[in-house]
């Protein structure tokens, strides 16, 4: 797991593995946790390794998590994009939600853009790339259906605008918002240079806590390279900002900006 996905286990790994994997072992038909781990570690069993990783790393997320970030988007980033569009006619807006879980963050970004730009949004060539290694979470994200819990902290007017109720207390994100998020499988520990770069905004929140220091540092360097000059990086409020400061200018505790070369 460390070699493939950069994930380190907590100090009491044995207890942690037991508590997280017992239920899975019972349903998957493996004889024991050891047997599961042995098989998942076999070459060519990436699918099983990913299943194990999904049990061990939490995919928990929710809409409008860490509101200060969405407020900053609306007060600073989006007005800047609007000005640029008016000045230069450029309409592209590239945003990446890295470690997106089921897209709660990515959908919140699209909602923030639609709420800010109003009708003008349709003139933009905007979209959010949402990536993760958790196959089930990505699948849930693409379906766009969530329990009402996930929306608890979202601005009230967004609910009526961007959600449609389903049976059983569930909601679906409206199609116009779903269409602007593209879900893809991507491992943040792999080389990322196949991505074209030039992102105006990258959200990479609440995933670095799973990584060791070296993996974290490499990831931040890669993210900084993939940002457009003047682009913004948002990390989680509990993520350690140390390495980020090495590569980017810090604007707020968990918000960074790539310098525009003079």
At its nearest, how many Å lie between ligand SAM and the CB of residue 88?
31
Closest distance of CB 61 from ligand SAM, Å: 3
Question: Smallest distance from the beta carbon of 31 to ligand SAM, in angstroms?
Answer: 26
CB of 63 or CB of 247, closer to ligand SAM: 63
* Identity of the residue, 65 or 200, whose beta carbon is nearer to ligand SAM in the bound complex: 65
Q: Compare residues 124 and 143 and give the one whose CB is closer to ligand SAM.
A: 143
Q: How far is the CB of 146 from ligand SAM (least distance, A)?
A: 13
| Contacts to ligand SAM by CB under 6 A | 5-7, 57-61, 65, 99-101, 105, 132-134, 137, 187-189, 205-207, 210, 236
Taking the least distance from each CB to ligand SAM, the nearer of 96 and 210 is: 210
| Min CB(210)–ligand SAM separation in Å | 5
Closest residue to ligand SAM using C-beta atoms: 61
Q: For residue 65, how many C-alpha atoms fall within 13 Å in the half-sphere facing its CB?
A: 24
Using the minimum distance from each CB to ligand SAM, give the nearer residue, 97 or 117.
97
Residues 6+ apart with CB under 8 A from 136: 54, 59
């Amino acid at each position: 797991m460390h070699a493939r996905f950069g994930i380190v286990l907590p100090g009491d790994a044995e207890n942690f593995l037991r508590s997280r994997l017992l239920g899975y072992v019972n349903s998957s038909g493996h004889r024991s946790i050891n047997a599961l781990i042995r098989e998942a570690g076999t070459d060519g069993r990436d699918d099983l390794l990913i299943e194990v990783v999904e049990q061990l790393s939490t995919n928990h997320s929710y809409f409008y998590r860490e509101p200060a970030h969405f407020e900053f988007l609306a007060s600073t980033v989006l007005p800047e994009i609007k000005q640029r569009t008016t000045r230069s006619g450029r309409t592209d807006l590239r945003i990446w939600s890295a470690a997106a879980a089921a897209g709660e963050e990515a959908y919140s970004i699209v909602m923030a853009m639609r709420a800010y730009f109003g009708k003008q949004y349709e003139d933009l060539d905007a979209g959010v790339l949402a990536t993760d290694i958790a196959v089930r979470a990505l699948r849930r994200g693409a379906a766009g259906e969530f329990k009402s819990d996930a929306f608890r902290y979202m601005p009230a007017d967004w609910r009526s605008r961007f959600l449609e109720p389903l049976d059983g207390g569930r909601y679906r994100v409206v199609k116009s918002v779903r269409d602007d998020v593209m879900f893809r499988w991507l491992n943040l520990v792999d080389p990322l240079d196949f991505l074209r770069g030039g992102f105006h905004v990258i959200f990479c929140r609440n995933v670095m806590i799973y990584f060791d220091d070296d993996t974290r540092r490499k990831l931040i360097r890669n993210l900084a390279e993939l940002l457009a000059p003047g682009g913004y990086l948002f990390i989680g409020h509990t993520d350690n900002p140390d390495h980020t400061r090495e590569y980017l200018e810090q604007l707020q505790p968990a918000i960074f900006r790539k310098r525009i070369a003079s």
